[in-house]
Amino acid sequence: MLEIGPIGTVVEGRTEVADDYWGGVESVIQLDESEFPLDSVQGLDEFSHLVVVWHFDKASPSDVEYHARSPRGNPDWPATGTFAHRNHRRPNQLAQSFPRLLKIDGLRLHVTDLDAVVGTKIYDLSPYFEEMGPRGPVREPSWPGEMLKDYWADKTS
């Protein structure tokens, strides 16, 4: 069994959990100052984006669903299995985000496009390497684009 602990916490940003309108949200990830020296982020500011692994800690383990279901309960979209979803109903309730790094202030990482709320525990982060992104054409059905059309829209839109 793998046992991991958080390396930081989202301390500023959006406070309410929602499915859409994450555009324009600026957040701060505070890394654990008792664990990490300042030079643990040395060189990170040269990267535009991060890969952040976090936990849906506002969700309950009872939210996990293994059976096929329509995304967001919308019957217009096909029922798909647990591993075809990217929500809190997954087995370990882990998420990955790819926020833009705005600046670093000590062990405070200022980011935008992080879709985690204040209080969320961060379990890992690294710079995004373009060379480690998808290779070849990306293929997906139409429903994710339909479902997420307002995901990165500004809340005021």
Backbone angles phi, psi at 55, to 5 degrees: -115, 135
- Bridge partners (DSSP) of residue 51 are 126
* Segment (H or E) for 145: helix 143-147
Distance CA 155, CA 94 (A): 25
pLDDT for position 156:
66
pLDDT band at 69 (very low <50, low <70, confident <90, very high): confident
User: 33-50 burial, b for 16+ CB within 10 Å, e for fewer?
Assistant: eeeeeeeebeeeeeeebb
As a whole number, the mean pLDDT across the chain is 91
For residues 89-98, average pLDDT: 89
Q: Give yes or no for residue 15 having a pLDDT over 90.
A: yes
pLDDT for position 88:
83
pTM of this prediction exceeds 0.85: yes
**Distances in Å between the alpha carbon of 134 and those of 118, 127, 130, 147?**
30, 15, 8, 22
Could you tell me the domains of the chain?
Answer: 8-147 (2.40.30.70)
Picking from 1, 126, 115, 109, the residue whose alpha carbon sits closest to that of residue 58 is 115
